[in-house]
Amino acid sequence: MIFCGMDQSIRLKVKECISNKSKFNHKIKIMKNLKQIILLTLISLETFSQSSMGALKGQILNSDHEPVFGAVIKILQGGSLVGGTSTDPEGLYTYKPLNAGHYDVLVSSQETQTKKIINVRVSSEKTTYLDVSVSTNTLDIVEVVAYRKEAIDKTFMNIKEISGEDLMHMALDKSDIGGAVLNMTSEATRDANGDFHFRGGRGDATAFIVDGVKSPGISGVPALSIENLAIITGGIPAQYGDNTSGVIVITTKDYFSGIQSKRMRDNYILENKERVRREKESMQMEKQRKHEIEEELRLEQEAKKNKG
């Protein structure tokens, strides 16, 4: 009807325009469909690519079996850096996606020594777990030695001595210090009255010095209180008088030395208990960690089956 009264040439031009517009709309429709197909194809390829990629997960613990927070995990392949991540407060880390293959994993942090694990195989079928234990950084050991002035100058006298610690390990009656004296030197003898004779000298020619003070004997000195026991049999200094036989010199432990020894023993006991406790906790953590990994792998396999 719209073509009535129109010139023939005009009608042909109008029909041509309508035809061209229809073709143009058809082309636009084809292009839209093509774009949708390409988009769906790219999404499918990306999904397939991700499903065929692997992942690396694990936990970093120090030598005290404690989580290492902020440890840097570097993943290398052929000496080149592929990627990296860091651990959370629980020492856990995850890195994905990773192509299936073999990698080197470098673990480092400020509080631990750097550790490299080589030839770690990552599979595309399931998550690879890599738990790493690293050694804690320790300061160089500094030995602190308290200066103690020598009670006896050994440069010009014949002297034999033993520390209180070694004295306690001697196989003798600890209540008899005289027995230790006889055990230390062959130059001393003891008669039936308990008097000591050095090199055949008289009993009253032997001197007993306890903490710098001349004493009538040493029978009342407990073995546990002795810091050092010395026997002088020749070149006796003038400070010990005109003794012609020998001198037995005992230095006892002071108050603070006794406290220090007790504290060292207590610390050893506490450290040993703490070590046993950490070992038990470590075993429990290892069992729990193994169970967690098995559960994660099970859920991962179930998710793949559901997607299939």
CATH superfamily label, 55-139: Carboxypeptidase-like, regulatory domain (2.60.40.1120)
Q: What was the pLDDT predicted at 151?
A: 52
Q: What is the rounded distance in angstroms from the CA atom of residue 202 to the CA atom of residue 185?
A: 17
Q: What was the pLDDT predicted at 214?
A: 82
Q: What was the pLDDT predicted at 48?
A: 42
| Domain residue limits, the chain | 55-139, 158-253
Q: What was the pLDDT predicted at 51?
A: 47
CB 75 within 8 A of CB 84: yes
Under 8 Å CB-to-CB from 70, ≥6 apart: which residues? Answer: 86, 87, 109, 110
Q: What was the pLDDT predicted at 1?
A: 47
Please write the tens of the pLDDT for every residue from 248-277.
888 887 755 566 566 667 777 888 888 888
Q: What number of CA atoms fall less than 13 Å from residue 155's CA on the CB side? A: 2
Burial of 253 (C-beta count, 10 Å sphere; 0-12/13-18/19+): middle
Please write the tens of the pLDDT for every residue from 98-138.
888 889 999 999 888 999 999 998 887 778 899 999 988 87
Q: Angle CA(107)–CA(109)–CA(112) in degrees, nearest 5?
A: 90
Q: Which residues of the chain have pLDDT under 50?
A: 1-3, 5, 45, 47-51, 147
Token couple for 52: 């065929």
Q: What is the rounded distance in angstroms from the CA atom of residue 12 to the CA atom of residue 24?
A: 18
Q: What was the pLDDT predicted at 71?
A: 92
This prediction's pTM: 0.43
CATH of domain 158-253: 2.170.130.10
